Amino acid sequence: MRTLNFAKRNFKEIIRDPLSIIFSVVLPLFLLWIFQQFKIPSENYKLQNFTPGIIVFGFSFITLFTATLVSKDRTTSLLVRLGISPMTPIEYIGGYMLSIIPMLIIQIILFFILAVVLGLKFTVYTVLAVPVSIMVSVLFIALGIIIGSFASEKASSGMASVIVQLVCFTSGMYFPKEAVGKGFAKICEYLPFEPSLNIIKGVMNNKQEIITARNIAVFLVYTLLAMAVAAVIFKRKMLSDNK
Amino acid sequence: MLAIEASNLTKKFKQKTAVNGIDLSIEKGELFALLGTNGAGKTTTIKMLSTLIVPTAGQIKINGMDIISERQRIRQILNVSPQETAVAPNLSVKENLEFMAGVYGIADKKKKIEELINLFGLNEVLSQKAKTLSGGWQRKVSIAIALINDPEILFLDEPTLGLDVIARKELWKIIEGLKGKITVILTTHYMEEAERLSDRIGIMANGDLIATGSADQLKAKAGTDNFEDAFVKIATGGETE
């Protein structure tokens, strides 16, 4: 109940500060649209491949958005008040995560609507990709909480933009990782961004062969680790901020 | 019966000792003011007593409960109004009260909120976003929020800091209304505030609790007629005379 209560408060704070919502939804939508206008002769830019890429790219903005929300909270005395309340770190993390989900759903649905308008074939797997994408987004929210827990409000947006860049370069959304070299391709396999993209792409296109066991393992390890680290760092920072 | 019992309470931050093995007892229903110069250790003491930070050494009992092993139970019976105004900026006053009622799982939320609205006269600002309120109103809301769980112990960290004289006197009236009903621990830099509101006053300097007593007892101890002079004499060991 406390998690839901905290999520409700966070959600209200989010929707009343709409600039970042517009940014995290409108920019990826624009990119999805503009790249389809160029008719680039590459598999990466075909809608069935580029739409999952844009979804993961949109999630990197969710990281930025969450990091800002958490770091902003840390700068106010509200966390001092909450720090002596019966709320536990897990309830904080749950509250932050739940509050972002309505925005994520809107974001994902808008991406799919635009993709369908641009020519993506609408199937039952498109619908199935929505809950799967939400599951994938947990990783990005957790990364945002980690960044927001130790960085200041100004620094957190800079640090989160590193995630945005990593998604662009290592997820394979813009170019095949092999184009850069074998070493780079290997690194991409062990970072969570390509697996995140492959999971959504595999479900959306009903091509299970895209989702390898390594993809699932890498994604799960990063997500569980990120959630655990987020809880620990958030609690530690909350205590040290209050010294 | 004691609401707070602290013995050998110590807090060290790396090499710096912020609070240096103090002993402190506060009776139930007492209004206890903690005075001291900047960096004396008042806020650190309050943070330890309110469970926000863990002491480096020493023991604290709140209503007989150990602050480490019974932390969660203790958190249900105390609340704090921090030094800076602690409100959710984009929520209205009513939403702030509802949010904190949810944090404490208040059973009859509506009734409790109504009671606080009447006590603090919040009706005129109820639907206003907290960030748009004046400093005085924000403080009032902050203290109202701190009473949402009917705390048995309330910590007020410099509740009237930066307020104009009228807003300060309004808050004093509210704090005086709490006397005897709940235990209040207040830190302040305003001598008049401590003298007028408190049953007992503790004076801290360099992490030590160097004197405790009523305002009259402290004046007598310092041999002065004026409480501010008594504070200066005690806090500095008479060096500024």
Give the Cα separation of A57 and A62 in Å (integer).
9
pLDDT at A74: 81
Whether the Cβ atoms of residue B49 and residue B155 lie closer than 8 Å to each other = yes
Q: The tokens of A204 are what?
A: 């959306």
* CB–CB contact A76 B146 (8 Å): no
* CB–CB contact B88 A9 (8 Å): yes
Closest listed residue to residue A54, CA positions, set A144, A173, A160, A161: A173
* Interface residue A17 vs chain B (CB under 8 A): yes
* Interface residue B77 vs chain A (CB under 8 A): no
Considering chain B, what percentage of its residues have pLDDT values greater than 90? 54
* Interface residue B201 vs chain A (CB under 8 A): no
Looking at chain A, which residue has its C-alpha nearest residue B87? A78
Whether the predicted model's global pTM rises above the 0.90 cut: no
ipTM given for this complex? 0.78
Give the Cα separation of A218 and A213 in Å (integer).
9
CB–CB contacts below 8 A, A to B:
79
pLDDT digits 0-9 by tens, B18-34: 999 999 999 999 999 99
In angstroms, the first-to-last Cα distance of chain B is 39
* Interface residue A75 vs chain B (CB under 8 A): no
* CB–CB contact A12 B145 (8 Å): no
Disruptive mutation site among A15, A68, A78 for chain B (greatest number of B CBs within 10 Å)? A78
Tens-level pLDDT at each residue, chain A (243 residues): 889 999 999 888 888 877 777 777 888 899 999 998 988 888 888 999 999 999 999 999 889 888 988 888 887 778 778 888 888 878 888 898 899 998 889 889 999 999 999 999 999 999 999 999 999 999 999 999 999 988 888 898 889 889 999 999 999 888 888 888 889 999 999 999 999 999 999 999 999 899 999 999 999 999 999 999 988 888 777 655 555
* Interface residue B7 vs chain A (CB under 8 A): no
* CB–CB contact B145 A81 (8 Å): yes
Instruction: Chain A: give the shortest CA distance to residue B166, in Å.
Output: 24
pLDDT at B99: 93
* CB–CB contact B91 A13 (8 Å): yes
Q: How many residues does chain B have?
A: 241
* CB–CB contact B90 A16 (8 Å): yes
Helix axes B93-103, A2-15, angle to 10 degrees: 160
Give the Cα separation of A80 and B47 in Å (integer).
9
Whether the Cβ atoms of residue B231 and residue B203 lie closer than 8 Å to each other = yes
Give the Cα separation of A93 and B71 in Å (integer).
20
Phi, psi of A191 (to 5 degrees): -100, 160
Whether the Cβ atoms of residue A47 and residue A131 lie closer than 8 Å to each other = no
Contact list in B for residue A16 (CB cut-off 8 A) is 90, 129
In angstroms, the first-to-last Cα distance of chain A is 29
Helix (H/G/I), strand (E/B), else coil: B19: strand
Whether the Cβ atoms of residue A1 and residue B102 lie closer than 8 Å to each other = yes
pLDDT digits 0-9 by tens, B170-189: 889 888 988 888 999 999 88
Give the Cα separation of B19 and B39 in Å (integer).
10
Contact list in A for residue B53 (CB cut-off 8 A) is 239, 242-243
Give the Cα separation of B88 and A74 in Å (integer).
12
Q: The tokens of A13 are what?
A: 């704070």
